[in-house]
Amino acid sequence: MDELRLPKHKEKIGYRGNSYAVETEYDALLNLVSVRLFKNRRLVSSRSIRIRDGQIEKSTDREEIEKIKEKIAYYHREEYALLISLFELSQKLKLNGDGPAHHSLGLVFLGRELLEEAKEELLLALVKTPNYSPVYNHLGIVYLKLGMIDESIKNFQTALKIDTGFADYRHNLGTAFLEKKSYLEAEKEFQEALKLNPRYQEVYLNLGFSCLERGRVEGDISSETILKEALDNFKKAYQFGFKKDLRMEELLQKAFTWEDLSRIYMLLKSLLTEGSSLEIKSLCDYFSLRFKYDPKVVEKKEVEDYLLQLSQEIVEGKNYPDLRQSLALAYIFYSRYILRLAEKKFQNFTQLSTEKKTGETNLKIARELEKKIELYLEESHQEV
């Protein structure tokens, strides 16, 4: 692949005293485009996009190489544009953003692991919408990632005070206790989460992990009770979510020692991370914000790509109601461009044709349809 000489793209942006950089390159071995985001020269997040149509097999073909180059440049531009528009949105929201908008932007930053930026937005959300439990929950996640465990626990607890019935909040609180190595408290929260959602695979996984860690700390890694408890939880985690995998089933059957179970945990955890919907949800939040605050500058092609990516993620297994709702909104937003194309054609027809009445009637219809769509979007944004 050396002879391909695929370029590595790098672009920087300074914002409020920080320097951000996007680096994009092609990983020939994995047939992936890697997009990395740096803040003050430290890697904060990365994402990999698989090149789907098998160009790599035809890598000797110049045309195919050009296609890969185009893709690298495209993904790079996309990420860089996203970063700039996030900062622009942040500025805009300071002037006229409501609580949910700051919350959404906080989630987008969180999805990109820009934790300080996420924290700032979430705190602003709390100022504008003080009793909104999801903000506390996400702030808890941010603090946890920043290593501020006590702050994190406080926020999860506040979220639970406002809305007791969320398994996610319980699970996150358990994770914070786990991080604090308070295993019994962690397990108590995990059990509570399972009462609310008995099929919550990540909870089973963390519960199993907590058992293993407890065993290790207590110096009893061969305790049959602990190992059995961990294994049972891993089995449930596997049962409630992962695609069937014969190798994994074999491992689960033969697991015997603490080391076997640790290995299973690592494998299951990596499968779970692979299937995480955080990134796509963060993209949905990003577009919802732009649809509301930046509708005029969102380009048709951007929405087309977003529609494609979101539909693909849903088809490939992330069949979640909130993603479907985001897709529904994206279809409506996209439909505006189509109506405008119709209007343009009717205008041209009216100018050129002798059938003025036909052209004018159709133009009026397209404009009325557009008014209705704008009204719908306005109502949707208020709901959001």
Q: Which residues contact another protein by CB under 8 A?
A: 319-322, 324-325, 327-329, 331-332, 334-335, 338-339, 341-346, 348-349, 352-355, 357-359, 361-362, 365-366, 368-369, 372-373, 375-376, 379-380, 383-384
**Shortest distance, CB of residue 135 to another protein, whole angstroms?**
17
- The least distance separating another protein from the CB of residue 287, rounded to whole angstroms, comes to 14
Minimum gap (Å) between residue 294 Cβ and another protein? 20
Largest alpha-carbon pair distance within the chain? 91
Quick one: 38 or 334, whose CB is closer to another protein?
A: 334
Q: Do 224 and 256 meet the contact criterion of CB atoms below 8 Å apart? A: no
51-54 contacts: CB < 8 A, separation 24 or more?
A: none
Least distance from another protein to the Cβ atom of residue 352, Å = 5
For residue 326, give the nearest of 283, 269, 268, 292 by alpha carbon. Answer: 283
Q: How far is the CB of 286 from another protein (least distance, A)?
A: 18
* Residue 315 beta carbon to another protein: minimum distance, rounded to whole angstroms: 12
**CA dist list (Å): 370 to 288, 289, 344, 378:** 19, 20, 13, 12
Nearest to 242 by CA among 205, 279, 192: 205
Q: In whole angstroms, how close is the CB of 303 to another protein at the nearest point?
A: 11
CA distance 367 to 363: 6
Alpha helical stretches, state H, the chain: 62-96, 99-111, 115-128, 133-145, 149-162, 167-179, 183-196, 201-217, 224-239, 246-254, 258-274, 278-293, 300-315, 321-352, 356-383
Nearer to another protein, 76 or 171 (CB): 171
**Contact call for residues 279 and 105 (beta carbons, < 8 A):** no
Report in angstroms how near the CB of residue 210 gets to another protein at its nearest.
29
Helix (H) or strand (E) holding 50: strand 42-50
Q: How far apart are CB 78 and another protein at their closest, in Å?
A: 23
Q: How far is the CB of 319 from another protein (least distance, A)?
A: 7
Can you tell me whether residue 253 is helix, strand or coil?
Answer: helix
Amino acid type, 344: K
Closest to another protein by CB, 34 vs 325, is 325
Task: Output 199 or 324, the one with its CB closest to another protein.
Answer: 324
Which residue, 198, 195, 155, 191, is CA-closest to 174? 191
Q: Which is nearer to another protein, 17 or 321 (CB)?
A: 321
Q: Which two tokens stand for residue 336?
A: 């505006």
Of 175 and 362, nearer to another protein (C-beta) is 362
Which one, 15 or 337, has the nearer CB to another protein? 337
Q: Give the residue with the Cβ less far from another protein, 267 or 369.
A: 369
How many Å from the N-terminal Cα to the C-terminal Cα in the chain?
47
Judged by CB, which is closer to another protein: 256, or 331? 331
Is residue 291 within 8 A of residue 381, CB to CB? The reply is yes
131 vs 319 by CB, closer to another protein: 319
Q: For residues 90 and 290, give the distance between their C-alpha atoms in angstroms, rounded to a whole number.
A: 11
